[in-house]
Amino acid sequence: MSSDKNKTPRSGRKSIRNAIESAEVVPFERAANQGRNASKDNGPFYLASSGLYKRSRDENRQDIYLSGPIECLAETRDGDGNCWGLLLTWRDRDGKTHEEAFPRAMFAGDCGEIRSRLANGGLSLAAGATPKNAFAEWLSSVHSSKRARSVERIGWHAFGPSSVYILPSETFGENANERVVLQRESPEPDVFGASGTIEEWRETIGKICCGNSRLVLAVSAAFAGPLLALLGEDGGGMNLMGSSRLGKSTALHVAASVLGGTTSMGAGGYIRSWRSTGNALESVALASCDATLILDELGQLDPKEAGETAYMLANGSGKARANRSGGARAIARWRVLFLSTGEKGLADMNAEAGRATKAGQEVRFIDIPADAGSGYGLFEKLHHADAPGELAEYLREQTSQIYGTPFRCFLNRLVSRLDVEKQRDVKDDLRERMNAIAASYLENWADASGQVRSVARRFAIIALGGELATEFGITGWDDDTSLELIRLCFQDWLQTRGTVGKREDEQAVAQLRDFISRNGEGRFERWVDPHMAELPQSDVPADPPGERFRTQMRAGWKRWVKLDDGRMGWLFLLTSNGMNEALSGLNARDAKRVLVDRGFLTPGPDGKLAKVFSLPGLGSVRLYEVKQSILGSDAGDCV
């Protein structure tokens, strides 16, 4: 039998039921503040006008403030369905809208790095462990039905029939299916800033370039970077070489004013330094893909790395590296045209490191005399200035205020042409024009080697960039300005090179000549026959010059004989090791064949390049017979 005190009176139950039925519905205040991102999928999070919040489990406590207003515009992923991320947008304290794509891989930890990037962008973030953990939870839980295509580098990206060009803060062109955004875990600083108008740049900078071949070359090169991909051409570079105070850095600032800059440094903010390791230059090149990379003062680069760096930048790929597990990491790849300055050239840097300059390096990274030869250093025409220094100061001042807009205008016009016309037809027309320009540059040198023709194509690409910019109304130049002034730069390069032939042919003659001249008596043992079969003419001395040095580390012999002109002189006989040392760094077989064709190396009667000689006290020895006339060689025909 139960106790009466545990029973609820019927009157009490009825009063409770009546109270519930008569109670008023109190609205939940937070629901009125929910933003458009608040949904069942967001769970405990909601967006209000004042910021992002997490609902408190205890109704008596306030909701947790996480950050200022922030929204997810879309989920991102690359073309292979990897590298998923979020495209977020927020406003900073000045009301400026920011948009940035962050890979989800950054959400795996405590989200410290992404919080730092958001804070750097002006987003207010709550302090304390609880808000930080809740913000990380929100990032992991956010998802969207909208999609965007992510890419990891700037430059051209093809999506089916359409192509878009990506800059850190802007996309040129449209993908018919979805938006394209730049998404990187460790982004480079954005140096593609813009200031001023096209009209200001054209009047204050563009028109000053008229009549100045090196300035036209620099500006045209800045426009030519995006053309490499459309033309299917590899990257490469040029170095304006010459003594200090010629105006080389001014040319770089003028080129940089086309591409971009920063608020604090103007166009100078776009210019990078050679003072970097090879690994650091990989990231720099990747951040300038399909654009023109501008580097100042080649002499700051380690001479031991100069040759390999030239190869790396031009070939467009970084080093192969292993990941943490020992597997192969993805190799960084880019396509870049680069413009440089330096008091030294590539050959000087290699010589300083004790290395020979390979022909492939010279083709990929060419040295152009910075001095235009008019008595004004880099300049040929001073326009309104009275002295070269005054013009340089004027251009520095203008480029500190006006920069970046020409490149954006150029990309807009170029992408519009690709959209309006068939892309294949546009690319074919560009290639046809490039080939025509290159042919005009070589019209006086029909027998030019493939190396010279390759460099002529690069000059033609640069000239084409200037022509297109002029056609688009950007430069303010005449139609043939870039074509003719860049022709002068090509001719100056060719004059400095000294030949239109293969560089390896010239190197074969030069290296053997210099080896013999340098080592002379020290490494070539004398061979003087005791009795001459035929006495020389009475006015020609029969005896060789007196001996001055003792031979050490013998590279061969030199024999006192009667030469082809009837005079007495030395015939040089090199051992196999001596010849290989003289031709170090070259293809020995090809180099020896060049020496035979030039008449400096006499082959044996058996067709072999080395002849058999019977040396006093040594017997038969196979040696390379080199004529004395090589010492007077110019190592190639001068242009």
Which residue stretches of 316-358 are H helix?
A: 346-352
Higher pLDDT among residues 478 and 26, named by residue: 478
Reference 286, options 103, 100, 117, 155; nearest CA is 155
**What's the pTM value of the predicted model, to 2 decimals?**
0.82
Q: Is the pLDDT score of 2 beyond 80?
A: no
Closest to 101 (Cα-Cα) out of 126, 127, 78, 76: 76
The pLDDT of residue 413 is above 70: yes
Q: Is the pLDDT of residue 24 over 70?
A: no
Residue 561, C-beta contacts closer than 8 angstroms, at least 6 positions apart = 568, 569, 570, 571
**For 128-142, 186-200, 527-541, which range has the lowest pLDDT when averaged over its residues?**
527-541
Of the two residues 27 and 77, the one the predictor is more confident about is 77
Looking at per-residue pLDDT, the higher value among 210 and 110 belongs to: 210
pLDDT in tens, 463-483: 999 999 999 999 999 999 999
* Virtual torsion, Cα 426, 431, 432, 437, nearest 10 deg: 130
Does residue 94 surpass a pLDDT of 60?
yes
Name the least confident of 62-76, 86-100, 490-504. Answer: 490-504
Sign of CA dihedral 499, 501, 504, 507: negative
Residue 497, Cβ density class (10 Å: 0-12 exposed, 13-18 middle, ≥19 buried): buried
pLDDT digits (tens, 9 = 90+) for 532-553: 545 455 455 566 766 666 777 8
Per-residue pLDDT at 158 exceeds 90: no
With the CA atoms of 631, 636, 637 and 639 taken in that order, what torsion angle do they form, in degrees rounded to the nearest 10? -130
Per-residue confidence band for 507, with pLDDT thresholds at 50, 70 and 90: confident
Binned at pLDDT 50, 70 and 90, residue 181 comes out as very high
Q: Which two tokens stand for residue 188?
A: 């480079």
> Could you read off the pLDDT of 419-428 as tens digits, one per residue?
766 788 899 9
Q: Report CA-CA distances (Å) from 578 to 28, 220, 511, 626.
A: 94, 47, 12, 12
Q: What is the pLDDT of residue 219?
A: 98
- Of the pLDDT bands very low, low, confident and very high (cuts 50, 70, 90), residue 324 is low
With bands split at pLDDT 50, 70 and 90, how would you rate the model's confidence at 74? very high
Whether 14 shows a pLDDT value over 90: the answer reads no
pLDDT at 567: 83
